[in-house]
Amino acid sequence: MARHFSLSGFPEWLPEQRLVEQHVLSTLQRTFELHGFSGIETRAVEPVSQLLSKGETSKEIYLLSRLQADQATDDAELGLHFDLTVPLARYVVENAGRLMFPFKRYQIQKVWRGERPQDGRFREFVQADVDVVGQDTLSQHHDMELPLVMVDALSKLPIPKVVVRASNRKVAQGFYEAIGLADIEGALRAIDKLDKIGEKAVAEMLMADGATDEQASQALTLAAITGSDGSIADQVLALGARSERLDTGLNELVDLVEGANELMPGSIVADLKIARGLDYYTGTVYESTMVGHEDLGSVCSGGRYDSLATDGKKTYPGVGLSIGVSRVLARVLGTPLVEASRSVPTAVLVAVMDEEHRRASERIAVQLRDRGIPTEVSPSAAKFGKQIRYADRRGIPFVWFPGDPDSVKDIRSGEQVDADAAQWAPPAEDLHPTVRMLS
């Protein structure tokens, strides 16, 4: 007999947990479509050269190969995609002639990363992305639209409140230029690690990349600025550094924060320590954390990218956000903070009088299913008491008893009434499993 090997980093939910996941995914889909986003799905693999085009990510890529591969005739080296943004860039370029711009898409799909599994981090996981992509230009107001879509979506999920924080890389880049930092991209990557490794370690990283002690201190002072209105600009300008890029970034950030909070009060907080480590972000960047679970890290992140997608003639700028669905589920299911009302979709179990009359029970089940009622037939013709206990263990709320007339019993309350399979229906709240947060 083959030995079973457990693989960490590849979540496999139990049926009742899968019901929660399906509820989350369907809620996200409905909300994204409510905001006018169209769903797409892209292939799971991309050329490695394409995956590497957005920065230093080679250690995260799972390579794809065949046991009988012929190196002389095989196509370019392939890898499993580790996010949904790079595939989107390729998809937009290949289909630009058939898309309407600005192109608003959502994508809910699995991705793969070859990193060490830990709390909230997996090798295989589900992401849910929303992006708006333009052709040559993309209006700045989409930078405000996207986080509000996510605030709406996240508020409908059975999870703790999520706080969306935003910054603008132009602010940090312009500030670093003004104070004379040589390695601006290195500084952004260092600041992005602030929550994980602390100020002292970040300062050491900055100085290792050529910053002076004073420049490192100034960068950390900038990163400490937060706010929910235009006062964030005053705090930044009070530091004394000025540049054209800095002014542009501040204007964009203030417009974003004030506009979003006017439409949805308290929806977004400016936080200048957010940098996002990936190289393709060019302006607004976002991160989000669940209240009371900040140790999990960001559960929804993204930003503006003005030059990720191009065919050499046209450029397709975009802005997008991504929810780490599996990361959120691992926390709310593992704690647990949420549960499904039952572990199976079934609302009705049709009892079987005896095996000779099983066909009669199956005909009743067909009638109920034809009317949209999730139904299964008892697997055995045991005594009714055992069939009821079977339904109870599975969380099935109703048991149907064939007879003359038929009857149906709510096994939670004990109430039993005569019923006709062509007319009877369970209460709306019992038709499908529901999901709720635990107090």
CA 383 – CA 352 distance, rounded (Å): 9
Q: Annotated binding residue at 363? A: no
CA dihedral of residues 414, 417, 421, 426 (deg, nearest 10): -50
418 is in an annotated binding site: no
The type of residue at 319 is V
Q: Which amino acid is at 83?
A: D
Provide φ and ψ at 26, rounded to 5°: -70, -35
416 annotated ligand binder: no
Cβ-proximal residues to 31 (8 Å cutoff; 6+ apart), any chain? 149, 152, 153, 156
Asked whether the beta carbons of 111 and 45 are under 8 A apart, the reply is no
Residue 84 annotated as binding site: yes
Q: Is 188 annotated as contributing to ligand binding?
A: no
Contacts of range 374-378, beta carbons closer than 8 Å, 24 or more positions apart: 374/345, 374/346, 374/347, 374/348, 374/431, 374/432, 375/346, 375/347, 375/348, 375/349, 375/350, 375/400, 376/346, 376/348, 376/349, 376/350, 377/349, 377/350, 377/352, 378/349, 378/350, 378/351, 378/352
Q: Positive or negative, the Cα torsion across 59, 65, 71, 75?
A: negative
What would the two tokens of residue 220 be?
């950390």
DSSP sequence for 236-303: HHTT----HHHHHHHHHHHHHHHHHHHHSTT-EEEETT---S-TT--SEEEEEEETT-GGG--SEEEE
CA–centroid distance for 318 within its chain: 18
What is the SS3 assignment for 126?
Answer: strand
Residue indicated by tokens 């900055």: 206
CA 146 to chain centre: 13
Which residues make beta-bridge pairs with 270? Answer: 166, 227
* Coil vs helix vs strand at 78: strand
Annotated binding residue 85: yes
Question: Is 189 among the annotated ligand-binding positions?
Answer: no
Q: Length of the chain, please?
A: 439
Q: Which two tokens stand for residue 387?
A: 């069939």
Residues of the binding site: 83-85, 113, 127, 131, 276, 280-281
Residues of the binding site for L-histidine: 83-85, 113, 127, 131, 276, 280-281
